[in-house]
């Protein structure tokens, strides 16, 4: 495929043309006269986004999402790579199961699908999964029991030690189950008491991060913290980074934008783990994203079938929200003024590609000879979000009915147009 994109503004503020040929960016002067053209006047061209935290649900819960539907949603959001979390059925905890995720991505993906391996067998927190086999057979470098915290410090330490052999990273779902058990579903505060919902205190997150950064220091390994949601966690991360500890962290769009006010409706769409927090915590994670304490935006895209969400009371519903299609919109609404477009490119593409070990093909500069992998963004477009228009199979979209930026005009992955408005 050949395509000439004309007049786009790049993240650094310069303007230029992008000539796509055979999956690579070529010299625009070499574009033939009859090449397909896309007028990008007024649009921003950014490297394609990389999501370190996506639940594609396949295999096992194809009623909620598939690799095909999830990556179509990703492409609509400007994503060209997604890291598929391991909590499928069966769990991605062997070399064979990781190879299966790769194969599904190659067959059905509208974006690159990178498997995340489980830290422990069956996510049970008792015995290490086949970390070495997953790396050797499927190139897995990121491991997580997301949805479950690795509570055993000795086991977490062994995982961190093990992945140093191939410069892997262990991504922790930080939730001390002694402080926030499986029933915890509302930020512990005045509101949890008033609503009669089991509390999920901020300290249940930060205490695990405090433990794990010291284990990362001990082992010299790489730790990544999933879905940071509290001001206390931000302070622990700042301390750890000041010590030179190899820790990175992510924040979700919903923790940047939504607050405990949404929970007052008891709408199970707003049940998520960790829970939505109060304004002080939202302000803290926004600032941390801006100053680099939090490295990346990751969606934690968590589709659920209606019988797992809508048919239950808040406390009994499955936690999680859709996130891929509105992630950039939320970042623009909450953080663009502080980040600028270069910062958006870093937090949503360059840094996650580096952390996830795919920086050879993702998060690359938009320059001649580089992969033709980018997103075109209209900074002025806005629209009311309609969950029925989603590419996802599921409809648990927390932004439904809200007016937000509607920025993504086109997504190109390795020279293939995967989405075009």
Q: Tell me if 85 is assigned to some domain.
A: yes
Q: Tell me if 355 is assigned to some domain.
A: yes
H-state helical runs in 109-266: 131-138, 153-163, 190-195, 203-219, 231-242, 253-257
* Dist CA 344 CA 197 (whole Å): 36
Q: Tell me if 23 is assigned to some domain.
A: no
pLDDT for the residue 244: 98
Express each pLDDT in 6-19 by its tens digit. 999 999 999 999 99
Q: Tell me if 259 is assigned to some domain.
A: yes
Residues in the chain: 421
The token pair at 176 is 């001390």
Say if pTM beats, i.e. exceeds, 0.95: yes
Helix/strand/coil (H, E, C) string of 15-52?
EEEEEEECCEEECHHHCCCCCCEEECCCCEEEECEEEE
Mean pLDDT of 333-351: 98
- Choosing from 93, 146, 212, 300, the catalytic residue is 300
Contacts of 261 (CB under 8 A, 6+ apart): none
Express each pLDDT in 290-321 by its tens digit. 999 999 999 999 999 999 998 899 999 999 99
Q: Tell me if 113 is assigned to some domain.
A: yes
Let me know if 300 is a catalytic residue: yes
Average pLDDT for the chain:
98
Mean pLDDT of 133-157: 98
Q: Tell me if 13 is assigned to some domain.
A: no
CATH number of the CATH domain containing 190: 3.20.20.140
β-strand pairing of 416-420 with 79-84: unpaired
Specify the number of domains making up the chain.
1
Express each pLDDT in 190-234 by its tens digit. 999 999 999 999 999 999 999 999 999 999 999 999 999 999 999
Express each pLDDT in 251-293 by its tens digit. 999 999 999 999 999 999 999 999 999 999 999 999 999 999 9
Sign of CA dihedral 159, 160, 164, 166: positive
H-state helical runs in 263-326: 279-291, 306-309
pLDDT for residue 333 is more than 90: yes
pLDDT for residue 145 is more than 90: yes
CB 323 within 8 A of CB 254: yes
Express each pLDDT in 363-411 by its tens digit. 999 999 999 999 999 999 999 999 999 999 999 999 999 999 999 999 9
pLDDT for the residue 311: 86
Q: Tell me if 384 is assigned to some domain.
A: no
For 118, the domain range is 48-364
Q: Which helix (H) or strand (E) holds 76?
A: helix 67-76
First to last CA, the chain: 18
The token pair at 353 is 């590609």
* Dist CA 132 CA 141 (whole Å): 9
Express each pLDDT in 148-196 by its tens digit. 999 999 999 999 999 999 999 999 999 999 999 999 999 999 999 999 9
* Dist CA 154 CA 267 (whole Å): 39
Q: Tell me if 83 is assigned to some domain.
A: yes
């Amino acid at each position: 495929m050949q395509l000439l994109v004309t007049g786009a503004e790049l993240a650094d503020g310069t303007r230029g043309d992008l000539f796509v040929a055979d999956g690579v960016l070529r010299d625009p002067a070499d574009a033939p006269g009859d090449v397909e053209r896309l007028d990008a006047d007024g649009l921003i061209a950014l490297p394609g986004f990389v999501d370190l935290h996506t639940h594609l649900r396949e295999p096992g819960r194809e009623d909620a999402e598939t690799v095909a539907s999830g990556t179509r949603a990703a492409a609509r959001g400007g994503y060209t790579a997604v890291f598929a979390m391991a909590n499928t059925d069966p769990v991605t905890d062997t070399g064979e199961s990781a190879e299966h995720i790769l194969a599904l991505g190659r067959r059905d993906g509208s974006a690159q699908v990178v498997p995340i391996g489980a830290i422990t067998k069956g996510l049970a927190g008792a015995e290490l999964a086949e970390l070495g086999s997953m790396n050797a057979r499927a190139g897995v470098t990121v491991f997580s029991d997301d949805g479950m915290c690795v509570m055993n410090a000795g086991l977490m330490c062994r995982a961190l030690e093990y992945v140093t052999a191939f410069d892997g990273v262990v991504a922790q779902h930080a939730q001390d189950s002694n402080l926030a058990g499986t029933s915890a579903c509302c930020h512990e505060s005045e509101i949890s008491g008033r609503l009669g919902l089991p509390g999920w205190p901020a300290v249940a997150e930060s205490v695990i991060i405090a433990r794990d950064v010291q284990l990362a220091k001990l082992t010299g390994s790489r730790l990544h913290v999933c879905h940071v949601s509290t001001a206390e966690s931000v302070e622990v991360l700042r301390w750890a980074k000041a010590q030179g500890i190899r820790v990175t962290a992510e924040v979700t769009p919903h923790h940047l934008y939504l607050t405990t006010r949404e929970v007052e409706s008891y709408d199970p769409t707003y049940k998520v783990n960790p829970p939505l927090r109060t304004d002080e915590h939202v302000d803290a994670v926004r600032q941390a994203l801006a100053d680099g304490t939090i490295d990346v935006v990751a969606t934690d895209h968590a589709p659920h079938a209606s019988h797992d969400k809508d048919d239950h009371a808040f406390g009994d519903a499955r936690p999680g929200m859709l996130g891929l299609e509105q992630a950039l919109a939320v970042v623009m609404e909450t953080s663009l003024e502080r980040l600028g477009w270069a910062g958006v490119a870093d937090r949503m593409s360059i840094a996650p590609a580096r952390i996830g070990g795919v920086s050879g093909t993702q998060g690359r500069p938009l320059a001649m000879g580089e992969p033709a992998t980018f997103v075109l963004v209209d900074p002025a477009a806005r629209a009311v979000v309609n969950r029925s228009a989603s590419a996802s199979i599921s409809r648990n979209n927390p932004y439904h009915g809200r007016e937000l930026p509607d920025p993504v005009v086109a997504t190109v992955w390795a020279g293939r147009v995967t989405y075009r408005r």
